[in-house]
Structure formats: C-alpha cells, structure tokens
Amino acid sequence: MKLVWFRNVLRLADNPALRHACAGDEPVAALFIISPTQWQQHKMAPIRQRFMLAQVDELGRELAALGIPLHLLRVETFAEVPAVLANLCREQGVTQLYANQAIEIDEQRRDHAVSAALAEQAVSCHWLNGCCVLPPGRVLTGSGEMFKVFTPFSRAWLKALDEEGFVIHRAPTARGETLPWQPLAERAWVDEALGELTPDPRWPVGEAEAQRRLNDFLEQAVFDYGETRDFPAIAGTSVLSPYLAAGIISPRQCVAALQQRLGYRPQSKAQPGFVWLNELIWREFYRHLLVLIPTLSMNRPFKPETAALPWSWDPDAFAAWCEGRTGYPIVDAAMRCLNATGWMHNRLRMIVASFLTKDLHIHWRLGEDYFMSRLIDGDLAANNGGWQWAAGTGADAAPYFRVFNPTTQGQRFDPQGEFIRTWVTELADIPAAYVHQPHDLLRLKGRQDYPAPMVDHAVARVRAIEMFRSLEK
C-alpha cells in the first residue's frame, strides 16, 4: 500500500506526490491530518481553515470517485503526528509514504520526525516539490549559493526555467470503483474540533474554480496588469492567492497557462505578461529564502542588525490600526476590507504595512501575525517577506528613507475614492476632492463620526528615518 499525505497541495492535477504514488498497480490511499491547536499557534485565520477544509471535502469526493480512500486523522500539534502516522501505516500495511515538501521550520521538523519514525517500520518516505516551479536549492549563484537578493534571483530563475523546463502532472485516472465519502460537516468530531465549517461563498473551492479564475484573468486582464494592478477599485488582479496558498492550483500551472496565452514565456518588463510572471517569481524567491534562512520562521529579521530597532508595542495604537480607525481613509478602508472579507489588495498591503511600521513605529511582527490571523491566503513565506520588505528589515527592502505617504498613496491609487467609500461608510457622501483628507469638511458639517488622523505623517516619517539612522551609530 502507498499512502499520499495531503498537506499544502490540495489538488489532483500537477500533484507530484499523488502522481508518483499512482505509478504502478499497487493500492493507493490518501491522508489529511487536522491539527486545530497547531493551526491556532500558527495564527491560521478561521476563514483560511474553513476554506482549506472545504477543499479537503472536495478532494475527498474526487479521490473517492477514483477509488482512492481519504483518511482523516486529528491531532492537536505536530508533535503527535509521527506516532499517529506510524500507527496508520501499520494498520493499513503502508510500505511507502508520498508527500509534497513543506518549507516552514516547524513543518520541516515534523517531517524529519516522521521519516525517522517510519524508517523503524521500513516505510520509505518520498518528499517531492509541489509548491514551487523550481525547488529551493535549484536556483544558485555562480558560487553555488542560494540568492538573498531578488533581481539576480529572478534572472537566474528565468535562465534555469529555460534550461530545464517543467512538467505539469496530470490528475490520476480511476484506480477502482467509486467509494463512499462522508462530508466533513456530518462528522461530529470534526465539528467539535473546528466549529462552524460553512465556507465563505465569496471563495468557492475546487480546482475548476481556480482554473476559471486563472483563465478569466489571462483572457481579460493580463495585458493591462502592469497598469491596473495597483488600483484596488479595479478588478485588475488574478485573485488567485488563496488558491495558490492552499495548493488548489500550482505556480507551474499558472506559468504554463500564461505561456500558452501569450505564445511565449516573457523575459523582460517590455513584454506583455512579464509583470504578472514577476509576481510569481517573487513568490518563489520568498519561499526559497525561507529554506535558506530558517530563522525567518522564528520572528527574526532578515537583516540581523535591525533587531535593535526601538519598535513600539503600543496596544491602543495597534488596535486602532487593526480596526480601521486611524483617520487615514485608505488605511482604514483597507483594514476594514480585510476584516470583512479575509483578503486585501497587494498595493493596500504595502500601504497599511508601511503605516504600521513607519508612521506608528509598531513592530512588524504584530502586523505579520494579525495578517495571518485574518487572511484567507495567509502564507508564511509571502507574508513574512512582504512585512519585512515594508518594515525595512527584509530582503530587497525599500530604503529606510522611503516611507509611504498614506494620503498621496490613496490619491494616486484610489483617485475617485471608490474603494474608500465602499469600506469607510462614514465617508460615503464625501466628494472625491475631499475624500482623502475629509477632516476639515467634516468639521464644517459638525460631524465627529470619523476620527482625526492619529499621527502627523510628516513628523512620523522623520522619526522612522531617525530610528534606522540610529543603527548606523
């Protein structure tokens, strides 16, 4: 018996672990392990848990239709996994375990422990690359080291892809008669562990849905992506991040679909489609970086010297940022959107992260954790990379003297205030000319339903620059 352990790749197509397990005639079974306490410790958002489990439900039905049973096990933490998995392998007569690699430090430690425990039972473990186009350790400098800077990584990544290409693994064919599948919502122990399982209707699960979104984006928006991607009121992005984070679609499938749509693989900014491809390369870079520097999984800065920065931990200021009542409309709209939907536009992520760290001078770790606790697409590598970039502590970080002005960012990327008025309902009747700085008009109207700016940006900017300059001394 071969066992496929589903973790971070919840799909049938382009699933290397599933594909390799299904080679040959030996029986195949599948496994998913629910770890509620561990998920809480990792700040996994409830909306992300529901999204993931809805996909597991979909996956269970699809596997059952192929004659592959999906076992569900529950543990509280990763520490319990080796023993529970070893017991399942004994019961089922498993001789080989297949899984797609995890890159986070806790997950890697778990997998090392699993390998050791199963080796005692003569069960061989096969760890495959299902989360990156090119696996960590493949894209190297001329001296054979992994990259720490994005631009040369991007060039080397494109070159390696040209030299090696990649394979899209097809979904397996049926291996037996259709099996019964009991939905997760009907399993009492699952409900007790996780509470309400109803997924958010704004985020349908399934590989077909992910492919539909990808195809719609490539047909309708990819050619204008470079011009529209920064405007949150415009549907200019793919909105595929939840599906990539859950492994419902693979980055290889995205690259292949882009290449098929264009008829070529773009190599520079001058070519249509490259800006979106570059975003996929950023995703790869942050994942490779997490493997190279495990301390990034441990709340440590990429630039060690920045650990000495005198960050604030002000709970009241942090709460105002979380709740979208900073007095800066674009910041407040973004945070309220996140709290309501579990998703935030990428430009807005940069704006609110800059505001928290450079205007409020609050430690990026608080923002990173809050995002993970709310985002449906929460992904440690991308989230940590983005936050450290904004805070000035990470790889390829913006120079410390480059601080986003939240007012001018709003004026530039939401010029008519459409996004702001959608989420900051107090400003719904404010004309576009005033919506980014509404306070004088509100005072004239005698209104106090929207807060004044909690900080003076010009003063806060100077303080942020002084914080970083102090490191040089």
Is 389 catalytic? The answer is no
What six digits make up the tokens of 221?
A: 């928006």
What single DSSP character describes residue 359?
Answer: I
Distance CA 407, CA 423 (A): 16
CB-CB contact of 221 with 275 (8 Å): no
> Which is it for strands 124-128 and 28-34: parallel, antiparallel or unpaired?
unpaired
Q: Residue 98: which H helix or E strand, with range?
A: strand 96-100
Is 127 catalytic? The answer is no
Distance CA 37, CA 278 (A): 36
**Residue listed under structure tokens 């594909």:** 19
Distance CA 356, CA 404 (A): 11
Which listed residue (282, 321, 389, 423) is catalytic? 282
Distance CA 136, CA 239 (A): 25
Which listed residue (157, 276, 311, 389) is catalytic? 311
Is 346 catalytic? The answer is yes
Distance CA 289, CA 121 (A): 34
| Helix ranges (DSSP H) in 45-148 | 46-65, 81-92, 105-119
Which listed residue (39, 343, 364, 423) is catalytic? 364
Is 279 catalytic? The answer is yes
- 3-class SS at 47? helix
Which listed residue (39, 387, 389, 423) is catalytic? 387
CB-CB contact of 353 with 322 (8 Å): no
HSE (side-chain half, CA atoms, 13 Å) at 431: 4
Active-site positions read 279, 282, 311, 346, 364, 387
